Structures are given as structure tokens and as C-alpha cells.
């Protein structure tokens, strides 16, 4: 079985993946991708275009080494994905909520200028609250939401969710998207982890951010365009909401590691945490993923059922 791997995130675990799938010949990041696809049985990578499909007459599986399949454009070949990022992202969300609600980045920046930014030294500053007082609203409650809630329960937080199906177990309540206004009214934290669809694109705008309110914080680990770009910037600049952690963006590098993530100057604000889509990028995430990938390569070779078909 010939497997073409185009995802560079798997390179640190190359030896492990090759050991897990000894029946496969793995071709890593070929310079001539279309040429390599001519004899490929499997593509392991984030993207699959029609041009790639036309070059790969024998392809039997497109295996995305992650959850998102939005860059798989061609049809006619089975597509599988894999997750294992939820625990890493939950860890990121908890970090972000503590940092934003206790304004730790501002305290760090102030002390670098010799100012002790604390209610102990500045009576005008309110005493911050712990996560026990957090009322967390989940927009989407899949792998990420469930993993995050398992952690937040240990802090004594309370939670509710809006999902496509209107169902979520173990929360104060759950509803469909018609209940979004209620979710925002009853939450002081909004975790955005829903998939990007035509229904969810731009679902959070100026009105929704205003409803979340001046004590509210937003964490987006889904896709940038679920939250309207300019509306979010305006809400942060004007303190319509207290803060945000943004790990997903409106534009990405097309090569190298430099690109402006947004037209709006989020980097000028002191109440936003900016990270380059790294919340799920840990060794543990990709170790779990290569086990799923290897399992599908073995299943394909032996004629067994494939896992995580989309």
C-alpha cells in the first residue's frame, strides 16, 4: 500500500507512524505531489483538490490528520478524519478563562513597568472572581465542549449550551440556535466550538456581543468567521465585552510563518489573548491521531471497516 503524506505536523512522529503501519510505504511531503499521487492508495493530508483527484486514479482513502475536512473539495473517494485535540484545547480554554477573568496579562504588562496592578495596591481595581462563579455558555458541545466541561466542573463552574440538535448532556440546560439570546443573557463566558457552516457563519455579531455584556469573555477555538470580525474588534475596543481569547482567525499564512490574521488591529488591544491556532497542537494530540491513521491503514489493507468516515 502506497501512502502519500502531505501534513508536515506528522513529521515529528514519523518513526512512530511508520512502526504502527509496517504494511504501508509512506511517501513524505513529495516535491512532485501530483506525480506521487499517480500510484497512491491513500492520501494523508489536510487538502484534496479536484486536480489532486484527477492525478490519483487508484486512491482509496483521503485521511485528514485532524478534525476539519473543509479543505477536501473533491468527491468520489472516502474521507476520514481524526480528533484527539479536545483535551489540549480544553487546557487552553481553562488557561484563557483564568487569564481573562483575572486580567493576568494586564498585571504582567504593568509589572514590567514597575506598576503593581492589584486591588491590594490600587483600590479602584475590583477583586477578581474564580472560575466557581463562571457561567459558561457553549456554542457547540461536541468533543471540545465535553472535554472542557469535564475540567471546568472541578472548579465549580455552571454551564449551558446551544447546539444544532438542541441536545447536550450534563449541563444546566441545552437548546437549539433559537435559544442563543438566552444563552448569552445567562452566561458570562462564551466558548465558541461549533463547526463552521452556512448556518453558523457570522452567528455572533454586535447584538450578541452586547447581550454577553461588559463582564463577559469570549473564547473562540472553532473557526474565526463564526464571530463577525469587525463587530468583535469594536466590542473589545469599546469594552462592550470584557475580553477575548482568539485562537482562530480570518486569514492565514499561505507560505512561511508570517501573515496578518485580521484586517482589524486586535494586537493594539490589551484585553485580548492572541494565539496562532495552536490550542490543539500538542504531542499528545498528534500521537492520538497517528494511532487513528495507522488503524485505518491497517483496516484498508485487511478489508475491515474504516473509522471516522465523514
Q: What pLDDT score was predicted for residue 197?
A: 92
**pLDDT, mean of residues 296-301:** 97
Maximum distance among all Cα pairs of the chain, rounded to whole angstroms: 70
Q: What pLDDT score was predicted for residue 191?
A: 98
Q: Give percent of the chain above pLDDT 90.
A: 99
**pLDDT, mean of residues 157-167:** 97
**pLDDT, mean of residues 289-299:** 98
Q: What pLDDT score was predicted for residue 70?
A: 85
Q: What pLDDT score was predicted for residue 267?
A: 97
Give me the half-sphere count of Cα atoms (radius 13 Å) on the Cβ side of residue 220.
26
Mean pLDDT value across the chain:
97
Is the model's pLDDT at 189 over the cut of 90?
yes
Is the model's pLDDT at 7 over the cut of 90?
yes
Q: What pLDDT score was predicted for residue 219?
A: 98
pLDDT digits (tens, 9 = 90+) for 220-266: 999 999 999 999 999 999 999 999 999 999 999 998 999 999 999 99
38: phi then psi, degrees, rounded to nearest 5: -60, -30
**pLDDT, mean of residues 73-100:** 97
**Domains, the chain, with CATH or none:** 2-84+283-302 (3.40.50.720), 86-274 (3.40.50.720)
Q: What pLDDT score was predicted for residue 68?
A: 86
Q: Which residue bears the cell 448556518?
A: 199
pLDDT digits (tens, 9 = 90+) for 31-86: 999 999 999 999 999 999 999 999 999 999 999 999 989 899 999 999 999 999 99
Q: Any alpha helices (H) in the chain, and if so which ranges?
A: 14-20, 33-37, 50-55, 86-101, 104-111, 143-152, 180-185, 206-212, 229-237, 283-302
**pLDDT, mean of residues 99-121:** 98
**pLDDT, mean of residues 121-142:** 97
User: Could you give the C-alpha distances from 89 to 144, 154, 191, 230, 256, in angstroms and in order?
Assistant: 7, 17, 11, 25, 24
Q: What pLDDT score was predicted for residue 4?
A: 98
Is the model's pLDDT at 135 over the cut of 90?
yes
pLDDT digits (tens, 9 = 90+) for 14-32: 999 999 999 999 999 999 9
Q: What pLDDT score was predicted for residue 136?
A: 98
Instruction: Print burial letters for 164-176: b (CB count within 10 Å at least 16), e (below 16).
Output: eeeebeebeebbe
Is the model's pLDDT at 116 over the cut of 90?
yes
Amino acid at each position: 500500500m502506497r501512502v502519500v503524506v502531505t501534513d508536515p505536523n506528522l513529521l515529528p512522529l514519523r518513526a512512530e507512524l511508520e512502526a504502527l503501519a509496517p504494511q504501508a510505504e509512506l511517501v513524505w511531503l513529495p516535491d512532485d505531489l501530483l506525480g506521487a499521487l499517480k500510484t497512491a492508495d491513500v492520501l494523508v493530508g489536510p487538502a484534496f483538490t479536484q486536480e489532486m483527484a484527477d492525478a490519483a486514479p487508484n486512491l482509496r482513502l483521503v485521511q485528514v490528520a485532524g478534525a476539519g475536512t473543509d479543505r477536501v473539495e473533491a468527491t468520489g473517494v472516502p474521507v476520514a478524519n481524526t480528533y484527539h485535540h479536545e483535551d489540549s484545547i480544553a487546557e487552553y480554554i481553562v488557561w484563557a478563562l483564568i487569564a481573562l477573568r483575572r486580567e493576568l496579562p494586564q498585571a504582567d504588562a504593568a509589572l514590567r513597568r514597575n506598576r503593581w496592578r492589584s486591588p491590594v495596591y490600587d483600590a479602584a481595581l475590583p477583586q477578581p472572581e474564580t472560575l466557581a462563579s463562571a457561567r459558561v455558555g457553549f456554542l457547540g458541545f461536541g468533543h471540545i465542549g465535553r472535554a472542557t466541561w469535564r475540567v471546568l466542573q472541578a472548579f465549580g463552574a455552571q454551564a449551558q449550551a446551544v447546539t444544532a440538535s438542541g441536545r447536550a448532556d450534563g449541563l444546566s440546560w441545552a437548546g437549539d440556535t433559537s435559544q442563543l439570546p438566552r444563552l448569552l443573557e445567562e452566561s458570562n463566558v462564551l466558548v465558541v466550538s461549533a463547526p463552521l457552516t452556512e448556518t453558523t457563519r457570522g452567528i455572533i455579531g454586535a447584538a450578541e456581543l452586547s447581550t454577553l455584556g461588559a463582564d463577559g469573555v469570549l473564547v473562540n477555538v472553532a473557526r474565526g468567521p463564526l464571530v463577525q470580525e469587525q463587530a468583535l474588534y469594536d466590542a473589545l475596543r469599546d469594552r462592550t465585552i470584557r475580553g477575548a481569547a482568539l485562537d482562530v482567525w480570518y486569514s492565514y499564512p499561505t507560505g512561511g510563518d508570517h501573515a496578518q490574521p485580521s484586517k482589524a488591529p486586535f494586537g493594539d488591544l490589551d484585553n485580548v489573548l492572541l494565539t496562532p491556532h495552536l490550542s490543539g497542537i500538542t504531542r499528545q494530540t498528534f500521537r492520538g491521531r497517528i494511532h487513528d491513521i495507522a488503524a485505518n491503514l491497517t483496516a484498508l489493507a485487511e478489508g475491515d471497516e474504516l473509522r471516522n468516515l465523514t
